[in-house]
Amino acid sequence: MIFDRKQLRKYFVMGSQNCVRAPGMLLEEAARSGITAFQFREKGPGSVFGGDKIRLGKRFRDICKRYNIPFIINDDIELIDFLEADGIHLGQQDAKADEIRAKYPDLIIGLSVSNMEEAKSPQIEYADYLGAGPVFWTATKVDAKQATGVEWIEQLRVLYPDKPIVGIGGIKPENAQSVLEAGADGVAIISAITRSKNVQETIDQL
Ligand SMILES: Cc1ncc(COP(=O)(O)OP(=O)(O)O)c(N)n1
Ligand SMILES: Cc1ncsc1CCOP(=O)(O)O
Ligand SMILES: [Mg+2]
């Protein structure tokens, strides 16, 4: 799939551990409601492994294909081929973007950047987009770094005027606008969607 920065605009990140109801039905509803990308992040307490993870991933991938939404895998490079993923999101502790790029020239590659040292890494050149944050406080990622504030998005935008950037961490309808105004191309969201009582309304508000 050809990457377009517009696909970052409403980027839903989720694993079964984040869901209070059937994950497939939630993704289907989010896709119908207008998310522009999806990241399969099956990770942490309550997540599934092995064959169950692959089965769940295939289900999610099929939904994304039907809605023509990029299906991006978090961390797990072994699943790229298995799940025919459109992309991979890598953190600083994950596989190296240059190695993945050499193996998969057309794969969408996302890279997390949380501070100035990471932002100056030569790996950035191999990434299609940067995941910046956590912008605000979040309870969703247990090992999340300290919140950066929207100032971090502003700094990254100055450093990389043309690089697609998505903000992540504690983003909800009430603060999404401030992330976009700081220079992000989009917002990546877990709990504001998984815990929403009205998914369509939440995604519209974003
Ligand atoms: C879009 C996006 N941005 C940042 C992250 C965080 O990635 P990482 O730092 O590797 O942490 P984990 O998500 O793997 O726990 C992300 N997943 N997506
Ligand atoms: C995966 C991830 N990376 C940085 S913060 C975060 C969690 C985002 O979850 P939420 O949208 O619920 O704050
Ligand atoms: Mg990671």
Known binder of ligand: residue 39? Answer: yes
**Ion ligand 3: residues, Cβ under 5 Å:** 75, 91, 94
Burial of residue 174 (number of CB atoms within 10 Å: 0-12, 13-18, 19+): exposed
Q: What residues have CB less than 8 Å from 15, skipping those under 6 apart? A: 23, 40, 41, 42, 43, 44, 47, 74
**Rounded Cα–Cα distance for residues 87 and 126 (Å):** 13
Predicted structure pTM score? 0.98
Catalytic residue among 41, 53, 61, 163: 41
pLDDT tens column, 97-140: 999 999 999 999 999 999 999 999 999 999 999 999 999 999 99
The ligand 1 atom nearest the CA atom of 131: 3
Confidence of residue 155 (pLDDT cuts 50, 70, 90): very high
60 is in an annotated binding site: no
Gap between the Cα atoms of 104 and 178, Å rounded? 34
Single out the residue of 202, 130, 127, 118 nearest to residue 166, CA to CA: 130
Atom of ligand 2 nearest to the CA of 74: 1
- Contact assessment for residue 115 and residue 155, using Cβ atoms and an 8 Å cutoff: no
Ligand 2 neighbourhood includes 140 CB (under 6 angstroms):
yes
